[in-house]
Amino acid sequence: LDSRGVEVADLTLAVGAGTFKPVTAPDTASHRLDPEDVRFPKETVLALENARASGRRVVAVGTTVTRALEAWALRPAGRAPGSMDLYFSTDLFITPGFDLRVVGALLTNFHLPRSTLLMLVCAFAGRENVLAAYEDAIRHGYLFYSYGDAMLIA
């Protein structure tokens, strides 16, 4: 990655148990995620701002990181370079129709039906594209969920 000019930036995310609960509400607007605590080191905030300003793509490793990055972009404090680490909690639920502002590519595994994580992937790539990818994954025997295979969506 280094040889290709890829810059890696860290954040700390306390993933809540609610992330893995299936959606049982009759509609997604009624479903609530448990809040998750996020810490963006000042170096990460600056790296994100620089990437966005120069038109470079931000690649999220995981759906929970995607949620943290998009929650950061929605915060007024997240829009300007910071001189200190940024701490906040988020219960952002990303579903189809959400306008992603930061993430340009996503590395993620194959998620279970009716999960908030699958809904986020559909918001990123489009429901039909995701269904086609999942059909192909099933046809080729890919493994699903947290210890399964992964895909890069760009």
User: 92 with 71: CB under 8 angstroms?
Assistant: yes
Strand, coil or helix: 45: helix
Q: What pLDDT, on the 0 to 100 scale, is given for residue 82?
A: 56
The per-residue pLDDT for range 105-151, each reduced to its tens digit, is 999 999 988 889 999 999 999 999 999 999 999 999 999 887 889 99
Q: What pLDDT, on the 0 to 100 scale, is given for residue 81?
A: 54
Q: What pLDDT, on the 0 to 100 scale, is given for residue 24?
A: 82
Q: What pLDDT, on the 0 to 100 scale, is given for residue 26?
A: 83
| Domains in the chain, CATH or no CATH each | 2-153 (3.40.1780.10)
What is the share, in percent, of the chain residues with pLDDT greater than 90? 62
Q: What pLDDT, on the 0 to 100 scale, is given for residue 32?
A: 84
What is the sign, positive or negative, of the torsion defined by CA atoms of 2, 53, 122, 26? positive
